[in-house]
Amino acid sequence: MTTTDKIKLGLAFLLLMAGVAGFYYLGNQATVIRVLAVLAGVAAAAGVAWMSLPGKQFLAFGKEAVVETRKVVWPTRKETMQTTGVVFLLVVAVALFLWVVDASLMWLVKLLMGQGA
């Protein structure tokens, strides 16, 4: 990464912080104006960061991720419902198992401490 890119990323960070600082500086203003200050800082920071080499590489990575996501074979509704059902059954089974283990250990500790059987 070149010095110019480091300066651009530093400036982007400062712009982002300026947007956040603007949110607090405009504490007496309407919430919409405060949020717009943050969004303006984010937009300015993104614009400056995009002009750097790491920013361009990140954008290219994002585009490639979208292309790969389109290649994914998504499950059908039936497969999704079946998988969800199995997950819920396993959650209930593990919860019951842990409840039995917890109750057993609590009974054992009470028995060892002489607080009743």
What pLDDT does 27 receive?
85
Q: Supply 17's token pair.
A: 């912080």
- 8 A C-beta contact, residue 26 and residue 33: yes
What pLDDT does 2 receive?
85
Residue ranges of the chain with pLDDT lower than 70? 116-117
What pLDDT does 114 receive?
85
What pLDDT does 61 receive?
94
What pLDDT does 116 receive?
66
What pLDDT does 76 receive?
95
Q: How many residues does the chain have?
A: 117
What pLDDT does 60 receive?
92
- 8 A C-beta contact, residue 23 and residue 48: no
Instruction: For residue 2, give Cα distances in angstroms to 5, 15, 47, 54.
Output: 5, 20, 18, 10
For the CA atoms of 63, 65, 67, 68, the dihedral, rounded to the nearest 10 degrees, stands at 170
What pLDDT does 115 receive?
81
